Every structure is written in C-alpha cells, then in structure tokens.
Chains A and B, each alone.
Chain A
Amino acid sequence: MRPIRWGRVLVAAVPAVFIGYFFLYPVGRILALGLSELGVGSDGVEARLFRIGWFTLWQAALSTILTLLAAAPMTWAVSQYEFRGRKLATALVTVPFVLPTVVVGSAFVALGWRDSIGAILAAHVFFNVAVVVRTVGALWSRLDPNLHDAGRVLGAGEWKVFRTVTLPLLRPAIAAAAAIVFLFTFTSFGVVLILGGFRYATLEVEIYRQAVTLFDLPLAAALAVVQLVGVTSALYAYSRYQERHTTTWTLRSEAERLRPTGRGGILVGASVLGTLLVLAIPVARLVTRSLQPGSYRALFRDDPVVGVPMASTGNSLLYATIAALIAVSIGVMASAVITGRRGRLSRWFDLTLMLPLGTSAVTIGFGFIVALDRPVDLRASFWLVPIAHALVAVPFVVRTMVPTLRSIPAETREAARVLGASPLRVWREIDLPIVSRAALVGSGFAFVVSLGEFGATSFVARPNTATLPVMIFRLLTRPGAGSFAMAMALAVILAALTAVIVLWIDRAQFGEIGAF
C-alpha cells in the first residue's frame, strides 16, 4: 500500500473545506429552503423566466466578446513592448475595475449614456477591460519569442504568425479571461438597474426583486437555480475547452520585452493612449464633478453624520489585506490540486471554485444567514466580509495561475522527480518560480476585488464598519451639493489608491523571478 501523502491531502482539503463551508453549504441551505415552498408556477412565469434568462445570456456573451476585442490592442502593447510608463498604463487600466457601480453609473448618466442596451454593454466593457489585459497579458509576455521568429523566418506574415502561432498559444489565458468577464456580466446588477431603463432585467436583478422587494423566496430560489445551471454549463464548456487546448511550451523570463520602433512604435502608442483615453472619459467626468471648493478637505473632517470619510480607507485596506491573504492561500493550494492531476474530479473542483463569481449576491448573503449559525455563530461577524470578498477573489487567483502552471512541461517535473526531488521540492523549485508572477497578478486582483466590492456585502449582516464603496454610497444617498462632491472625491481617491497599489504590486520583485 502506498503511504498516504498527508501534505497532499491537506493541500486539497483546505480549499475544499473553504468552498464547501462558505459557499456550497449556505447556498444549498437557502435554495433548499426556498424550493421546498415552491408551488406550481402560474401561467406566464415560464415565459417571463425564459425572456430574462435569454437576455442575461446574450448580453453576457456579447459583453464578453466586446471586452476581448476592446482589450486586445492594449494587451498586445503592454505585454510585448517595453516603453516608458508601461507599468503605469497597466495600473491605470485597472482603475475602472474597482469603481463602484453607483459612481460609474452616475458618470454614464451625466454623459447621457443611459436607458439603452448600448449603455449596458459600454459599461460592461469599461469595467472588465482590465481583466483581459492582465490575465492574457501575464501569459503573452512570457511566450517564447523564438516561436514567433521561427514563423517569420519561414515566411509567414505578422498577421499569419499571430493567427497560427500566437493566438493558439494564448487560448488558455483568453478563455480564462473570457470566463471571468462572462460570469461578471452574467450576474450584472447595478449596471443593468441604473443604465438599462427597466426594459432589461438580468436574472440577478430579478432574484433581488423577487427575494428582497417582493418576498417571493421560492421564485427567487427557482431563479437562482436557473442562474446556477447557466453558470455551471458555461464553466463546464470552458473547462472542456481548456483541457483540449492546453499545450505546453517553453516560457521565457519577463525581461525581454522589445522597445517599439518605427511603425510598431506608433501602433503601440495608439493602442495604449487610445484605450486609456476612452476609459478616461467617465473617470474624467467623475474628477470634474468632485472639484467643488473644499470637497477633498472635507473628506478629512469629522462629518456630523458619517464620521471622517477618509477613515473608511483604513477599513477597506484592512479588509482587502485579509481577503487577499485568504484568497491567495486558498487559490495557490487549489491551483496546485487542479494542475496536479487530470480527470473529472479536478475539473469539477476547479469549476466549483469559480461558481461564487456567477452566483447572485442575494443567494450567498441570505445563505450565510440560514447556514452559518453553528457550530460558531459567524452570522454578523467581522470575518464574514473578508470571507465573502475572498470567495469572489479566489477565481481570479486560480484563473491567473492555472494556465501558467499547465504550461510547464510534464517532463521538467518528471526529470526532477527522477532525480529524487520530493513533490514539495518539485513544486518549490520548478512550479513556484514560474508561477510567482502569476500569483502576484492574482493577489493584486484579489486585493482590488475586495477594495471595490459592494454587491455581496450589502446582503451580509455585518459590524458597522464602512468601507470605501459603502462610504461613497452613504454620501451619495443624502442631498446636498457638498455631499455629492465628497462622494465623487472619495471615488477619485479610491481610483488613485487602486492605481498606486497595483503599481506597487506590479513592481515588487519576487525572489529570483526572471532568473530561470
């Protein structure tokens, strides 16, 4: 009998318990509670359900395609070329991702982009460009340039090389980014509510409406099941695709980006500046509206109602740090499990970890209430907020790490094992140096996800600690020109803080990265 590898069991058990106890169990409990009361649906409910489900699906698919296309030029430029301000540009592109929906919604409304499907799609692209630039960019920057050069030497044009060599190699990362963007837009709530002009409702909006305003828990549960089935199918298709199209190849270290020259230089400049300028339009609107006399100074003063608004920055940083630590620990272990063995089990494990991203915030929040009272009453505890954030952040860590881990040729690991290295040693010596970059990108994402998270936590009973998005929302829901300017100013601070943190994470050198 082979000895049980306790290390391996532990590495698999920790993420499994986490996702099981904080996601599957609460969601299972609340759905069971809702569905147990479900009566026979009245006529017309099915037609309505179908209409909402269909809209949710096609707008998410279209948003995903548009986001991939919109992000392509920027992704190419920052992953292939070295130029002054490259890191800054990569950090700036992340800013839209954390901005609270209410703030972006109000900027879009002020620009007159509202009440249309176009506004919804534009907002979805605005929020998610960063996901593509960072997820795909992390892999693209490490493709071996020899493959590209070989194609060129053999007489293929630049476009043909891209289509036949580069694109297939990038598939895992593109699929990963697409999966995340799809889940995000599939569960879109605020954007659809604010910019959709009521003709449009996603499943997420309808679940909220049924559960929270109309108290129809059974119907809400039925909708949540439809949402889960949709998300699971999409994820299943994604993971099948991922398995069929994973190839291994040699990755290079990061440091070899080219300096753009001539026509390439113009293209790079146009890609980067063009993307940033378009993304800057709503942000600029935000900045101009924040510029009222004293609005920034007021953020540091004790407001009679909300306290010192800037104090929320500290709360947000604390939550984000805890959430990122949880997400990275869980994510790294999970990625090791997922890539360590092939097969149905690991595929479903991977898929399950992604589910929170595609589950409605109402379902998770209410699930916590009915499930987490024993053995320790965690309902309304401080830890619930960072845990909720981590649930949403883990997929980002996993999705950035798995494609890179998979690209490591099995022979490399095999060789190390033959030479007598323990599994842990193989992981440390071979996998870790290669994936630390991806882990870094993933943890940055986790941090930023927590910083901007508002949806899930608004259905979690929690101690009265205001995070930045919560404080912005509070200021935005009271009248007065001063309140409004302060809300906008705080949103600008959130944007600036995000850019600085991402820049800092990107710059941090991790051990011997680039040395292998």
Chain B
Amino acid sequence: MRKTLSVIAMVVIAVACGSEQAERPDRLRLMAHDSFAGSVNEETFAAFTGDTGIEVEMIAAGDAGSMVNQAALSAGNPLADVLFGVDDTFLSRAIEEEIFVEHRSPLLDSLEPGLAPASELVTPISFGDVCLNYDKGWFEETGTEVPTDLDQLRDPAYAGVLTVEHPATSSPGLAFLLATIDQYGEEGWSGFWSDLKSGGVNIAPDWDTAYYGDFVPYGGESSLVVSYASSPPAEVIFASEPVDEAPTGVIEAGCYRQVEYAGVLAGTEYPEAAGELIDFMLSVEFQETIPLTWFVFPANQEAELPPEFVEHTVVPADPARLDSAIIAENRDRWIDEWVALMEG
C-alpha cells in the first residue's frame, strides 16, 4: 500500500513539474486546411527541424470552415499544437471558441502594412487577393476595353460576360461580395448586384466550376471571372506548354484581401515550441517559399517575390478589407439578402 501511494505521489509530482516547465517535444503537429497541407513536403520545415530538432507533422483538416469547426469542437484538447489557415471570415468564430492562446512573434514589425491583427491570439502569415481576372485574348479580339472600375460592370456588356462564385458555397465568392459591400456600403450594394443580375451575370457554385467551366480560356463563355491575383502567375507556371506571357490578367479594382493567420492551440503541451514554429513561418526564409508553393503572398514585407509574381500580376494598391467582427455579425444576413436578390 505504501509503495502504491509513493508511486502515485511521484507520478503526481512528475505531472506537476511537467506542466510547470514543459519539455522540448520531438515533434509538433500543425493543423491546416487541405490546400496548405497538400503543398507541404519534406523540405518545407527542414530548416526548422534543423535548427530546433523538432519534426513537424501535418494534419489536414478539410476546407477552412471545416478546420475551424474541428478546432472549435476539440477546444482545450486540441488535435494539434499549431493551427494555420484561419482567415478573417472565420477569425471571430475561432476567437469566440477560445481555441487559441496568445503568442507574440518578434517579427511583427516586418509585417506588410495593415496586416497586424488586433489581438495576439493569431499571427498573420500570408495574404491573398481575390480579384477579377480577364481573358486577354477575348478583350483584344472583340476590341473591348478592360474594365478598371467596379461601376463599369453594371453595363450589361460586362455583366453578361462575368462569372462570380456563390458566396454561400465559395470563399472567393464571399470575398467578392464583401468587396462590393465595402465599396458601395450597406445602402448601395444591392443596387449594384441588381444591375449585375439584369445584365446577365453568371453564378457558379465554386471556384473550379467558374474558372475551369465558365472562363473563356477553358471553353466557357465568360471573359471575366472572380479569381485570385496570383492566378495569372499560376497560368504561366502551370501552363501546358511554356509561355512568356500570362493569357489572363488581373483587374485592380474590386479586389478583396484575405489574410491567413496561424495560432497556438489552447491545451497544447508545448506552447513555447509552438510559438517558435509560428515565428519560423514568419521568417524571411519560409516566407519566400510561400508564393510558389501555395500561391498567396508573404505577410513579411522583407520577403522577396519570385520573378513570376513580379512580372505577371499586380499587388492591388488598395484592396477592400472588412473587420472580422463585422463579417461575423453580418455575413449570414448579407448572404441571405444576396440569395433573395439573385435567386428570387
């Protein structure tokens, strides 16, 4: 009996000490949405493992919404140590569910202006701009001017060749709706969309149906499509046969900036090491691999862009962005109103 008690006492002490000064882990688990997880390979975190001796294990968790839900359902007893890939549309929910603990990265000063979040619960890692793309060939052949302002889309000549994604089922679709709300305000956005509707705008359920189904370069009938600022460089890099110039271009007006954040998951045994992983993800070394691996832009402004991104796209000077709290508060209503307007 005494022996048992002393064993229990030792275990209790060991556990207590363990939580006081957590040991260095051999590996950390990083949970991310599929599109990031899918682009991670052995080299992605090799430098981090080299410096710290900690391996990084990826956990893929579906799309961003599915991932945040999984993190919320496992809050306090997390599936991983670090989560990456929550954006402004889901940030409020993540914070509300208390899935993160604070971490202050020493690299925050190097952030691209305007990216710093209001709270230390998350650290911005990358951003992507949802922008209208146009097919260069179609505009040349038909002698049409490329639109430079959202207002021009009210003209049926443009609305009739435009494909947007449904905001309820597609993240770029929601981003574009938010861009129009940002530009026209609560009063004006529905008027803009009414004009698009009467002009014959096409609505696709998701990005791949819009881009690969309805966009002119892929045999569709729309020469304007809601896609990303990084799509033209991807057209060059992933062309079937080498090309010098992207067949598509980006329209700077009406872009919406999606920022993706990383955070230390509450309940991790290794908050300190988890923070180091986030710092690594914000380092120039890692940041410079971002554009060519998952086609978004580095949050650290000291990171240099690869030549394809300099040559074939633009970083919009003044993209729309809405506060995550405002999005959380109004999103359902906006989507419902949009659905009533466009499908009614």
Please, which residues of chain B bring their CB within 8 A of the CB of A295?
240
8 Å CB contact of B41 from A198, A307, A379, A480: A307
- Contact yes or no, A215 B62, CB < 8 A: no
Q: Indicate with 1 or 0, residue by residue over A463-502, a CB within 8 angstroms of chain B CB atoms.
A: 1101000110110111111111100000000000000000
B209 contact from A109, A366, A474, Cβ within 8 A: A109
Find out whether the CB atom of A193 lies under 8 angstroms from the CB atom of B169. Answer: yes
- A497 CA to B238 CA in the complex, in Å? 26
- Is B166 touching A461 in the complex (CB atoms < 8 A)? no
Residues of B close to A485: CB separation below 8 A: 240
A9 within 8 A of B: no
Cβ contacts under 8 Å, A484 to chain B? 212, 218
Enumerate chain A residues within 8 angstroms of B67, measured Cβ to Cβ.
461
Label chain A's interface by main secondary structure.
helix
Interface residues of A in 422-449 (CB under 8 A from B): none
A345 in contact (CB, < 8 A): no
A370–B70 CA distance with the chains assembled, in angstroms: 9
Q: How far apart are B224's CB and chain A's nearest CB, in angstroms? A: 15
Mark out the residues of chain B between 172 and 219 whose CB falls within 8 Å of any chain A CB in the assembled complex: 203, 205-209, 211-214, 217-219
Q: Give the residue among A105, A209, A379 with the most B Cβ atoms within 10 A.
A: A379
Contact B38–A306 (Cβ < 8 Å): yes
**A292 to B240, Cβ gap below 8 A?**
yes
Shortest Cβ gap from B307 to chain A (Å): 14
A464:B227 contact, CB within 8 angstroms: no
Docked-complex contact A198 and B60, CB < 8 angstroms: no
Alpha-carbon distance A33/B75, docked complex (angstroms): 14
What 0/1 readout, one digit per residue, does chain B (55-82) give for beta carbons within 8 Å of chain A?
A: 0011111110111011011100101100
Cβ-closest chain B residue relative to A373:
B77
Q: Please give, as numbers and ranges, the residues of chain A lying within 8 Å of B301 by CB-CB distance.
A: none
On whether the beta carbons of A199 and B343 are closer than 8 Å, the reply is yes
Query: Contact at A369–B238, with CB atoms within 8 Å?
Result: no
Indicate whether A479 sits within 8 Å of B79 (C-beta atoms), given known contacts A213-B168, A458-B62, A459-B66.
no
- B237-A110 in contact (CB<8A): no
Q: Report whether A481 and B35 are in contact in the complex, using a CB–CB cutoff of 8 Å.
A: no
Bound: A507/B232 CA distance, A: 49
Whether A375 is near chain B, meaning CB under 8 Å from some CB there, is no
Which of A30, A199, A461, A473 has the most C-beta atoms of chain B within 10 angstroms of its own C-beta? A461
The reply to whether A209 and B168 form a contact with Cβ atoms under 8 Å apart is yes
How far is the CB of B172 from the nearest CB of chain A, in Å?
11
The answer to the question of B102 belonging to the interface, with a C-beta cut-off of 8 Å to chain A, is no
CA distance A369 to B169 in the complex (A): 23
- Contact in complex: B70, A366 (CB < 8 Å): yes
Query: Bound complex: CA of A102 vs CA of B169, how far in Å?
Result: 14
Identify B69's interface contact among A106, A211, A480, CB under 8 A.
A211
- Assess the B168–A380 pair: CB atoms within 8 A: no
Instruction: Render B256-299 as a binary contact track against A, CB cut-off 8 A, 1 for contact.
Output: 00000000000000000000000000000000000011110000
- Our pick among B70, B228, B238 for the contact of A480 (Cβ within 8 Å) is B238
| CB nearest to B237 among chain A residues | A480
- Does B235 interact with chain A (Cβ within 8 Å)? yes
Q: Are A461 and B238 in contact (CB under 8 A)?
A: no
Counting CB contacts under 8 A, is B239 at the interface? yes
The interface bits of chain B over 239-260 (1 if a CB of A lies within 8 angstroms of the residue's CB, else 0) are 1110000000000000000000
If A193-B206, A370-B74 touch, whether A479 touches B227 (CB-CB below 8 Å) is yes
Contact in complex: A193, B218 (CB < 8 Å): no
Q: A110 vs B217: C-alpha distance in the bound complex, in angstroms?
A: 13
A109 close to B166 (CB less than 8 A): no
A479 and B211: CB pair below 8 A? Answer: yes
Are the CB atoms of B73 and A370 closer together than 8 Å? yes
Check if A194 is an interface residue, CB within 8 A of chain B.
yes
Q: What's the minimum C-beta distance from B330 to chain A, rounded to whole angstroms?
A: 12
A102 to chain B, nearest CB (A): 7
B136 at the interface (CB under 8 A from A): no
Residues in A whose Cβ lies below 8 Å from that of B304:
none
**Is the C-beta of A262 less than 8 angstroms from some C-beta in chain B?**
no
Do B38 and A198 touch across chains, with their CB atoms under 8 A apart?
no
Asked, given contacts A209-B168, A212-B66, A380-B80, whether A478 binds B209 with beta carbons under 8 Å apart, the answer is no
Q: How far is the CA of A366 from the CA of B74 in the complex (A)?
A: 10
Asked if A293 is at the interface (CB within 8 A of a chain B CB), the reply is: yes
Q: How far is the CA of A366 from the CA of B238 in the complex (A)?
A: 35
Q: Is A305 an interface residue (CB 8 A)?
A: yes
Give complex CA distance A106, B332 in Å.
28
**Interfacial residues of chain B within 68-123, with CB under 8 A of chain A in the complex:** 69-70, 72-74, 77, 79-80, 93
Complex CA gap A444/B217 in Å reads: 40
Q: Given known contacts A305-B39, A306-B39, A476-B212, is B217 in contact with A481 (CB within 8 Å)?
A: yes
| Assembled-state Cα–Cα distance A215/B168 (Å) | 12
CB of A458 within 8 A of CB of B63, answer: yes
Q: Are B205 and A481 in contact (CB under 8 A)?
A: no
Give Cα distance in the complex from A214 to B209, angstroms: 22
A267 to B228, CA, bound (A): 53
Kindly state whether residue B27 has any CB partner on chain A within 8 Å. no
B205 touches A482 (CB 8 A): no
Residue interface mask A32-54, B partner, CB < 8 A = 1: 01000000000000000000000
CA–CA, A193 to B205, complex, Å?
A: 7
| Complex contact B231–A479 (CB within 8 A) | yes
Chain A residues near B219: list those with CB within 8 A.
Answer: 110
Q: How far is the CB of B20 from chain A (nearest CB, A)?
A: 23
Determine the residue in chain B with the shortest Cβ distance to A476.
B208
Distance of A392 Cα from B31 Cα, bound (Å): 26
Partner of A194, one of B59, B206, B214, B235: B206
Q: Which of B65, B70, B211, B217 has the most CB of A within 10 A?
A: B70
Contacting residues, chain A, for B240 (C-beta < 8 A): 292-295, 481-482, 485
**With an 8 A cutoff between CB atoms, is A462 at the interface?**
yes
> In the docked arrangement, what's the CA distance between A325 and B65, Å?
33
Say whether, besides A198-B166, A458-B34, A478 and B295 are in contact (CB < 8 Å). yes
Return the chain A residue nearest B293 by Cβ.
A305
In the assembled complex, B234 has its CB within 8 A of some CB on chain A: yes
Instruction: Report if A3 contacts B (CB, 8 A).
Output: no
Q: Which of chain B's residues have a CB closer than 8 A to the CB of A198?
A: 166, 168, 203, 205, 339, 343
20 new A-B contacts, CB < 8 A, other than A479-B235, A482-B239, are A106-B209, A193-B169, A197-B203, A197-B205, A198-B205, A198-B343, A304-B292, A362-B66, A369-B70, A373-B74, A380-B80, A458-B63, A461-B79, A464-B60, A477-B208, A478-B295, A479-B230, A480-B235, A481-B238, A482-B240
Can you list 24 A-B pairs with a CB-CB distance of less than 8 A?
A: A30-B73, A110-B213, A193-B206, A194-B209, A198-B168, A305-B39, A305-B292, A306-B38, A365-B66, A365-B70, A458-B34, A458-B62, A459-B66, A460-B62, A463-B59, A464-B59, A466-B38, A477-B207, A478-B238, A479-B232, A480-B235, A481-B217, A481-B218, A481-B238
The 4 A-B pairs of least Cβ separation, nearest first, read A480-B238, A464-B58, A479-B234, A109-B213
Residues of A within 8 A of B (CB): 30, 33, 102, 105-106, 109-110, 193-194, 197-199, 209, 211-215, 292-295, 304-307, 362, 365-366, 369-370, 373, 379-380, 458-464, 466, 470-471, 473-474, 476-485
